[in-house]
Chains A and B, each alone.
Chain A
Amino acid sequence: MQVFDLEAQGLRALNATLHALTGQTNETAWEIVNPRGSHAIAVGVDAPVDITVRGSTGYYCAGMNKQATIRVKGSAGPGVAENMMSGTVIIDGDASQYAGATGRGGLLVIKGNASSRCGISMKGIDIVVHGNIGHMSAFMAQSGSLVVLGNAGEALGDSLYEARLFVRGPVKSLGADCIEKEMRPEHLLLLADLLKRGEADHLAKPEEFRRYGSARKLYTFNIDNAAAY
Chain B
Amino acid sequence: MCGIVGLFLKDPALEPKLGAMLTEMLITMTDRGPDSAGIAIYGHPADGRAKLTVQSPEPDKDFKGLADDLSAVTGAPVTGDIKDTHIVLHLPADRLEDARAAIATLRPSATVMSAGEGIEIYKEVGLPKDVAARFDLEKMSGTHGIGHTRMATESAVTTAGAHPFSTGPDQCLVHNGSLSNHNSVRRVLKRAGMTFRTENDTEVAAAFLTHKMQEGANLGEAMEATLTDLDGFFTFVVGTKDGFGVVRDPIACKPAVMAETGQYVAFGSEYRAMVNLPGIDTARVWEPEPATVYFWER
Chain B residues numbered 266-293 whose CB sits less than 8 Å from any CB in chain A? 270-275, 285-287, 290
User: A96 is contacted by which of B251, B255, B290 (Cβ under 8 Å)?
Assistant: B255
Chain B nearest CB, measured from A5 CB (Å): 15
A94 touches B286 (CB 8 A): yes
B290 touches A58 (CB 8 A): no
Give 1 or 0 for each of A114-143: 1 = CB within 8 Å of chain B CB. 011000000000000000001100000000
A97 touches B286 (CB 8 A): no
Cα(A75)–Cα(B271), bound, Å = 9
Chain B interface size, under 10 / 10 to 19 / 20 to 34 / 35 or more = 10 to 19
Number of A-B residue pairs, CB cutoff 8 Å, is 41
Please indicate the chain B residues that have their CB under 8 angstroms from the CB of A77 in the complex.
255, 270-271
A37 touches B270 (CB 8 A): yes
B290 touches A116 (CB 8 A): yes
Chain A nearest CB, measured from B247 CB (Å): 16
Chain A: which residue is nearest B252 at the CB level?
A: A116
Cα(A82)–Cα(B297), bound, Å = 38
- Given contacts A75-B285, A78-B255, A97-B252, A134 and B290 within 8 Å (CB-CB): yes
Cα(A37)–Cα(B252), bound, Å = 20
Cα(A52)–Cα(B293), bound, Å = 36
- Given contacts A96-B255, A97-B255, A116-B252, A38 and B272 within 8 Å (CB-CB): yes
Chain B: which residue is nearest A75 at the CB level?
A: B285
Please indicate the chain A residues that have their CB under 8 angstroms from the CB of B273 in the complex.
37
Cα(A135)–Cα(B290), bound, Å = 9
- Given contacts A78-B255, A96-B255, A116-B252, A37 and B286 within 8 Å (CB-CB): no
User: B287 is contacted by which of A59, A94, A135 (Cβ under 8 Å)?
Assistant: A94
- Given contacts A97-B252, A116-B252, A37 and B290 within 8 Å (CB-CB): no
B271 touches A58 (CB 8 A): yes
B275 touches A36 (CB 8 A): yes
- Given contacts A36-B275, A97-B252, A97-B255, A115 and B287 within 8 Å (CB-CB): yes
A58 touches B252 (CB 8 A): no
B275 touches A37 (CB 8 A): yes
Please indicate the chain B residues that have their CB under 8 angstroms from the CB of A38 in the complex.
272
Cα(A70)–Cα(B287), bound, Å = 23
Give 1 or 0 for each of B237-252: 1 = CB within 8 Å of chain A CB. 0000000000000111
Chain B residues numbered 216-270 whose CB sits less than 8 Å from any CB in chain A? 250-253, 255, 257, 270
A36 touches B285 (CB 8 A): no
Give 1 or 0 for each of A95-108: 1 = CB within 8 Å of chain B CB. 01100000000000
Which one of A37, A38, A93 has the greatest number of beta carbons of chain B within 10 Å?
A: A37
Chain A: which residue is nearest B272 at the CB level?
A: A37
Cα(A94)–Cα(B271), bound, Å = 12
Cα(A115)–Cα(B288), bound, Å = 10
Please indicate the chain A residues that have their CB under 8 angstroms from the CB of B290 in the complex.
116, 134-135
Chain A: which residue is nearest B281 at the CB level?
A: A55
Cα(A115)–Cα(B252), bound, Å = 10
Cα(A77)–Cα(B287), bound, Å = 10
A36 touches B272 (CB 8 A): yes
Chain A residues numbered 25-61 whose CB sits less than 8 Å from any CB in chain B? 36-38, 56, 58-59
Chain A nearest CB, measured from B271 CB (Å): 4
Cα(A94)–Cα(B275), bound, Å = 16
Chain A nearest CB, measured from B78 CB (Å): 44
Chain B: which residue is nearest A57 at the CB level?
A: B271
Please indicate the chain A residues that have their CB under 8 angstroms from the CB of B287 in the complex.
94, 96, 115
Please indicate the chain A residues that have their CB under 8 angstroms from the CB of B272 in the complex.
36-38, 58
Chain B residues numbered 171-205 whose CB sits less than 8 Å from any CB in chain A? none
Give 1 or 0 for each of A140-184: 1 = CB within 8 Å of chain B CB. 000000000000000000000000000000000000000000000
Cα(A94)–Cα(B253), bound, Å = 17
Which one of B250, B274, B287, B290 has the greatest number of beta carbons of chain A within 10 Å?
A: B287
Cα(A205)–Cα(B286), bound, Å = 28
Cα(A115)–Cα(B290), bound, Å = 10
Cα(A93)–Cα(B190), bound, Å = 47
Chain A nearest CB, measured from B43 CB (Å): 30
Give 1 or 0 for each of A55-69: 1 = CB within 8 Å of chain B CB. 010110000000000
Listed by A's residue number, 24 A-B pairs whose Cβ atoms lie within 8 Å are A36-B272, A36-B275, A37-B271, A37-B272, A37-B274, A56-B271, A58-B270, A58-B271, A59-B270, A75-B271, A75-B285, A77-B255, A77-B270, A78-B255, A94-B285, A94-B286, A96-B255, A96-B257, A96-B287, A97-B252, A115-B287, A116-B251, A116-B290, A135-B250
Known pairs A37-B270, A37-B274, A58-B271; list 17 more (Cβ under 8 Å).
A36-B272, A36-B275, A37-B273, A56-B285, A58-B270, A75-B271, A75-B285, A77-B255, A77-B270, A77-B271, A94-B285, A94-B286, A97-B252, A97-B253, A97-B255, A115-B252, A116-B252
